[in-house]
């Protein structure tokens, strides 16, 4: 059986703040394997597909705008239970209350904007991972 895979994104705030290396370090230190990495200037079409589940929510437009504000680093990572494991490494969505020790808890904060800039994305299920990996590594 081949190892589970997930899509991880270092969002534009993480790239702009120079935290790509620190985030990659945490993924590798946990023991997951980096299978593929690419720098992506995501366009609206890709982002609307990626975040289709959030269409219509008040933070949807700000989210698309934020995610297209600069380059993103897309990572294909592999390992047993990597989907669940990376979500745990990332921490909860709101960086103010994300647990210390997590990426969002240690490196993120609220900037008083319409959308939370929280450094990373990680697929939330095997179905999402397959769908998102196909989008970002087309």
The two three-digit tokens of residue 27, written as one number:
């993924």
- 124 lies in the site for ligand IDP, by CB under 6 A: yes
Residue facing ligand IDP at closest CB distance: 93
Residue 115 binds to ligand IDP (criterion: CB under 6 A): yes
| Number of residues forming the site for ligand IDP (CB under 6 A) | 9
3-class SS of residue 27? helix
Q: Which of 116, 129, 132, 136 binds ligand IDP (CB under 6 A)?
A: 116
Could you say whether residue 49 binds ligand IDP (CB under 6 A)? no
d(CA 70, CA 107): 19
C-alpha closest to that of 132 among 13, 3, 6, 32: 6
Q: Does 118 bind ligand IDP (CB under 6 A)?
A: yes
Which residue, among 8, 12, 135, has the nearest Cα to 71 in the 3D structure? Answer: 12
Note if 50 is an active site residue: no
Which residue among the candidates 10, 47, 121, 122 is catalytic per the annotation?
121
Assigned token pair, 38: 């690419």
Near ligand IDP in 56-75, by CB under 6 A: 59, 63
96 touches 79 (CB < 8 A): no
Point out which residues bind ligand IDP (CB under 6 A): 54, 59, 63, 93, 115-116, 118, 121, 124
């Amino acid at each position: 059986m081949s190892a589970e895979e997930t899509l991880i994104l270092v969002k534009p705030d993480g790239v702009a703040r120079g935290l790509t290396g620190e985030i990659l370090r945490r993924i590798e230190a946990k023991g997951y394997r980096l299978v593929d990495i690419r720098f992506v200037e995501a366009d609206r079409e890709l982002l609307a597909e990626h975040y289709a589940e959030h269409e219509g929510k008040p933070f949807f437009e700000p989210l698309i705008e934020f995610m297209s504000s600069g380059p993103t680093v897309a990572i294909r990572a592999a390992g047993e239970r990597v989907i669940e494991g990376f979500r745990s490494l990332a921490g909860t969505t709101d960086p103010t209350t994300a647990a210390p020790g997590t990426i969002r808890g240690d490196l993120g904060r609220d900037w008083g904007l319409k959308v939370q800039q929280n450094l990373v994305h990680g697929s939330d299920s095997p179905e999402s991972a397959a769908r998102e990996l196909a989008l970002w590594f087309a």
